Amino acid sequence: MNLIILPIIGLLTYIAIFYYRYFNRTNPLPGPIPLPIIGNVLQYPGDAGKWANQLQLIYGDIFEIYLGTTRTICLCRADLVENLMKSNFYLRTTPNDGLDDFGVSKKGIIFNRNHDDWSYHRRFLQKTIMAPQIVKETVESTQVLFQEMEELWKRLGDEKEIDFAGWISRFGFENIVLLTTTLRIHSLTNYYNKVNPQDKVVEPEGTLPNSETYINCAKSFFDGATFSLLTPKILRYSPGIIGTTKNLLNQKNWLTTNLLGIIKARRSQIENSTEKIDTHDILTQFLTINTDKDVTQGIVDKNHPGRMSDDDVRANMTEILGGGAVTTPSTICFIVHYLSKYPDVQKRMVQELDSVLGSDRDSQFTIDQLKKLEYTEAVLNEVSRVFPSVPVNFRASSQPDEIAGYNFPANTQFLINMEGIHHHPSDWRDPDVFNPDRWLDGSTKRSKNTFLQFGGGARVCPGRSLSLAEIKTVIALLYRKYDVELVDKKGGG
């Protein structure tokens, strides 16, 4: 009998203590009442932006939720996030056992909580992936790959509908693999063979195998990290959910194993080469830093004299490839969707493309020409404002700070509702109206932190220049040659 009563007493005691602490917490904010252990996770609808916006309507611009047992302060107005852009908010999250289990809290830059390690890798990426030469190469490779994709579209014929989202995700992954490794995965060819098996194209020699698996695992990396962050351990390993947990881990492990294979092969190639290394792709720079064949420029520092380990390289490559397969293609799809909904905007943008890039639809263009596409960039910005590819962002404090008049201790978790900030009427005139003109010269000056296209502060995305170059190039290539229509004009594009 005691074996039954004691656990019940223990559970009731835990619940009583939980709610006593909850109702007597410091700086109480409005928000949904959490459940013990799991917090408000069961209320999560599967769309973080939608959830944050729904809660903002109910509780205002600052409220709190509980992600498991972690109290999370949600901020939905630009002036409220100003302090979060300071250097002491370099952390993405407070300690999280889910991210520990997923293996990302001590590696890479997205979720890495080790400040010294994070800052070193971030500085490396800022000096490599944001370099003008990489941006120039992005514009060039995007045009080459787009031409390859066009040839495959022609083979499909005019009668076959194009699943643009499917094609552009393969395109984005192919491009980022090429730019970072110089390797060809030929994901476009493999995708063509998948959608048109009766007329298969022979894969070129040297193709990396399993391109579809690479893409699926790269995409699921962010899903797995988000799932691990938001889902308490008691739920992650519960019946009915444990299968999802294992599947996400298996996909991450597959990607880890195969990327390590590429990394080890390239390192061996570099070490055994007797000739000077004349390639400066991202992977080669990762692998040669602090070696006698170092091709990096001014990245090394006295605090990190050793070479970068294979697993550190793998962690950085995983995040880069995931961005190439997910966020950049998603933004391109959103732009296509909104241009189809607003034909006048599309017409004006095409006129600019003709004016700046010339009437020869097959001519190559340069990064300098892209910079002159002011209205095209305004369209990109407005789409990113209305429908950001990453609607919310996380930050955690490394020391006590004051936010919105409240004093919060170190290791407080914050959530930035970027979609809410992008639509806030205090900072945007007619925030729900799609209007690219608001971005042109002479428009109303915007306040700080009202547009967080790539995050902001210490955690701003280091790949933003590369991403923007690819997006603008794809849009220019697509709309200077094609009339684009949505099959489902009422759908999400």
Q: pLDDT per residue over 375-416, tens digit each?
A: 999 999 999 999 998 999 999 988 999 999 999 999 999 999
307 in Cβ contact with 341 (< 8 Å)? no
Length of the chain equals 493
- For residues 401 and 155, what is the distance between their CA atoms, to the nearest angstrom? 59
pLDDT at residue 64, rounded to an integer: 98
Backbone angles phi, psi at 83, to 5 degrees: -65, -25
Per-residue model confidence as pLDDT tens digits over 321-331: 998 999 999 99
Average confidence (pLDDT) over 168-176: 96
Per-residue model confidence as pLDDT tens digits over 437-477: 999 976 667 889 999 998 888 888 888 999 999 999 999 99
pLDDT at residue 493, rounded to an integer: 39
- For residues 86 and 401, what is the distance between their CA atoms, to the nearest angstrom? 10
The answer as to whether 200 is a domain residue is: no
**What type of residue is 72?**
T
**What type of residue is 337?**
H
Which run of H or E residues covers position 64? strand 62-67
The answer as to whether 109 is a domain residue is: no
At residue 300, does pLDDT exceed 80? no
- For residues 84 and 195, what is the distance between their CA atoms, to the nearest angstrom? 46
The answer as to whether 176 is a domain residue is: no
Pairing of strands 70-75, 62-67: antiparallel
The answer as to whether 81 is a domain residue is: yes
pLDDT at residue 130, rounded to an integer: 84
Chain-centre distance for alpha carbon 238: 29
Q: State the residue range of the domain holding 447.
A: 1-90+389-452
pLDDT at residue 446, rounded to an integer: 80
Average confidence (pLDDT) over 133-151: 95
Beta strands in 331-462 (DSSP E): 392-396, 401-403, 406-408, 413-417
The answer as to whether 352 is a domain residue is: no
CATH of the domain at 421: 3.30.43.20
**Strand arrangement, sheet containing 70-75:** 62-67, 70-75, 413-417, 392-396
pLDDT at residue 462, rounded to an integer: 87
The answer as to whether 39 is a domain residue is: yes
Per-residue buried b or exposed e for 324-345, using 16+ beta carbons within 10 Å of the residue's own CB? bbbbbbbbbbbbbbbbeebeeb
At residue 168, does pLDDT exceed 80? yes
Chain-centre distance for alpha carbon 49: 14
Count of the separate structural domains present in the chain: 1
Residue 217 marked as a ligand binder: no
pLDDT at residue 218, rounded to an integer: 94
Per-residue model confidence as pLDDT tens digits over 348-362: 999 999 999 998 888
Q: In the block, which residue shows the tokens 């701003």?
A: 460
29-33, 198-202, 204-208, 227-231: lowest mean pLDDT where?
A: 204-208
- For residues 325 and 66, what is the distance between their CA atoms, to the nearest angstrom? 31
The answer as to whether 350 is a domain residue is: no
Six-digit token string for 432: 């729900």
9-18, 105-114, 219-228, 288-297: lowest mean pLDDT where?
A: 288-297
- For residues 51 and 384, what is the distance between their CA atoms, to the nearest angstrom? 19
- Which residues is 417 bridged to in the sheet? 392
Per-residue model confidence as pLDDT tens digits over 366-382: 999 999 999 999 999 99
- For residues 187 and 190, what is the distance between their CA atoms, to the nearest angstrom? 5
DSSP state of 394: E
Residue 79 CB partners (closer than 8 Å, separation 6+): 447, 449
pLDDT at residue 161, rounded to an integer: 82
Which run of H or E residues covers position 71? strand 70-75
pLDDT at residue 303, rounded to an integer: 79
Per-residue model confidence as pLDDT tens digits over 34-81: 999 999 999 999 889 999 999 999 999 999 999 999 999 999 999 999
pLDDT band at 8 (very low <50, low <70, confident <90, very high): confident
HSE of 275, CA atoms in CB hemisphere, 13 A:
4
Residue 169 CB partners (closer than 8 Å, separation 6+): 215, 219, 325, 326, 329
What rounded mean pLDDT belongs to the chain?
91
pLDDT band at 203 (very low <50, low <70, confident <90, very high): confident
The answer as to whether 49 is a domain residue is: yes
Six-digit token string for 206: 């040297």
CA-based angle 184:189:193, to the nearest 5? 145
322 in Cβ contact with 218 (< 8 Å)? yes
302-306, 340-344, 398-402: lowest mean pLDDT where?
A: 302-306
Residue 96 CB partners (closer than 8 Å, separation 6+): 70, 105, 228, 229
324 in Cβ contact with 185 (< 8 Å)? no
